[in-house]
Structure 1
């Protein structure tokens, strides 16, 4: 595959998968601006990595793994540049109950540990299998199951507590 073909493949990937990566990033971060930054950083790494590795076997898996690793690494920092204090919706109006439930779930998701959040998003939003999630996160399958169980239990407890 020549350089022009690689560039065309990378360009098509960026155009086609940016919004899907953004949705996953938003669920991980809980903030639109931070999710946008996460996607931009991920795509830069994917493009540079794609050019470095002359073969683009599974660019989707590479991008997803890069997104998750970049997110987890950002949570290890002792400080962060910005703090989100409010959420301004940029979407069509939805019924009040659905909006409130969505906000509750996103707030509860934000309180999970970064690894639990990554597992929950990959397993239940991206609909990945336990083995695929384990491979992507470099974890054992039992660790993925344990993070998923604990994450879901924490989400249920917080959402149930707020809805009662």
Structure 2
């Protein structure tokens, strides 16, 4: 099969940046398989827009923004499918001794509610400002501030850092 120059350029981009983008997707979703699906969807959108993206240095930002937008759309749809229940799920105690702070942080992030996880990832992993996060998530700046604050408190508690 004959490929065009831009198709080969896209393939090279995916080969070189794919692992980093997958890590960002995992931070957004909290689940490896969901992260793969999210990245695949974002790369499909990027592929379709490839010839229109003039600044190749902005590709990571384009893909990350697509991932955030897709993820938001998915959890907004999922909200409609969730129903409250009187039964609490069984709590599984994890006997693994977390020695690595990075692994413990990853675990704590996965346990955050989706909006909190998205706000933390955008703020501290993507270095977005509060107004940028508010626009991205479709919430007010005040909601971003309180969400990030509550998420950080949960992370500190999960990591045993207190205060």
TM-score of the superposition, structure 1-length normalised? 0.66
Q: Compared with structure 1, are the counterparts of its residues 135 and 7 closer, same or farther at alpha carbon in structure 2 (3 Å cutoff)?
A: farther
- Counterpart in the other structure of 1:56: 54
- Counterpart in the other structure of 1:145: 145
Q: Which has the larger radius of gyration?
A: 2
- Map 1:102-141 to 2 at 5 A: 102-130=102-130, 133-134=133-134, 136-137=136-137, 141=141
- Counterpart in the other structure of 1:32: 32
Q: Compared with structure 1, are the counterparts of its residues 37 and 130 closer, same or farther at alpha carbon in structure 2 (3 Å cutoff)?
A: same
TM-score of the superposition, structure 2-length normalised? 0.66
- Per-residue CA deviations over 1:39-74 (Å, capped at 9, x if unaligned) read 1111111111334xx243332221111111122222
**How many corresponding residue pairs?**
142
SS in 1 for 2:54: coil
SS in 2 for 1:97: coil
- Structure 2 residue runs without a partner (length 5+): 83-91
Structure 1 residue 133, shift from structure 2 partner: 4.1
**CA root-mean-square deviation:** 3.2
Cα distance in 2, alignment partners of residues 116 and 26 from structure 1: 14
